[in-house]
Amino acid sequence: MIVGVTGASGALYAVRLLKALLEQGVDVELVVSDYGRRLLIDECELNLKTTPLGEWLDRQYGATARPGRVTEHRYNDLGSPLASGTQRWDGMVVVPCSMKTLSGVASGHASNLIERAADVTLKEQRRLVLVPRETPLNVIQIENMLRAARAGAVIVPAMPAFYQRPRSFEELADFIAGRVLALLGVPHELFPPWPERST
């Protein structure tokens, strides 16, 4: 899977998704924008330049088996293998997805590796999940979501549910991570399914 992290607030959504993917043995191709790096530092105290992700996860959540591997790619490297449709990956998620990135994806602009990899994901008819985190939304942003959805992206706004009775910010973020995992076809147990009602 490709995971792009951009500068919209919501770094916790990204790290909880990465944690779950690695624990499920999924190899991750990680691309973080400049503002995404700043966001990870500001909101999670995670500096990827000085601390490996696995080490940070161990410190934050305790050591556990994470058979998946992370390969990080430079944000502006349009020569990366991720820029080519001849490379194989099962899907891509941008979490959180800034409005600037959404605009680039919706217009096919592809000015950086996240936008280009998203463009390739769409053209190769693979699953692309965008997790926008912005409120309120203006008409331009709503139209960009519609354009991206019409092109084949799945829009998963960072709107957690409460039926699972979350007790922490991590459990709120796990709801979004679980919804993304389900859309990517990755099994999870991050939250229980909505119970069937008895008649």
- Report whether 169 contacts 133 (CB < 8 A): no
Backbone phi, psi, residue 98, to 5°: -70, 160
Strands 154-155, 127-132: parallel, antiparallel or unpaired by DSSP?
A: parallel
- Report whether 179 contacts 160 (CB < 8 A): no
State the burial class of residue 116 (Cβ atoms within 10 Å of its Cβ: 0-12, 13-18, 19+): buried
Query: What percent of the chain has a predicted confidence (pLDDT) above 70?
Result: 98
Q: Which pLDDT does position 145 carry in this prediction? A: 98
Q: pTM of the entire structure?
A: 0.94
Backbone phi, psi, residue 25, to 5°: 80, 20
The amino acid occupying position 194 is: W
Which residue in 54, 53, 50, 11 sits closest to 33, CA to CA? 11
- Report whether 107 contacts 122 (CB < 8 A): no
pLDDT tens profile 134-166 = 999 999 999 999 999 999 999 999 999 898 889
pLDDT tens profile 1-30 = 999 999 989 999 999 999 999 999 999 999
- Report whether 192 contacts 171 (CB < 8 A): no
Other CB atoms within 10 Å distance of the CB of residue 75: 20
The amino acid occupying position 105 is: V
The amino acid occupying position 42 is: D
Q: Kindly state the tokens that stand for 10.
A: 């919501």
- Report whether 197 contacts 163 (CB < 8 A): no
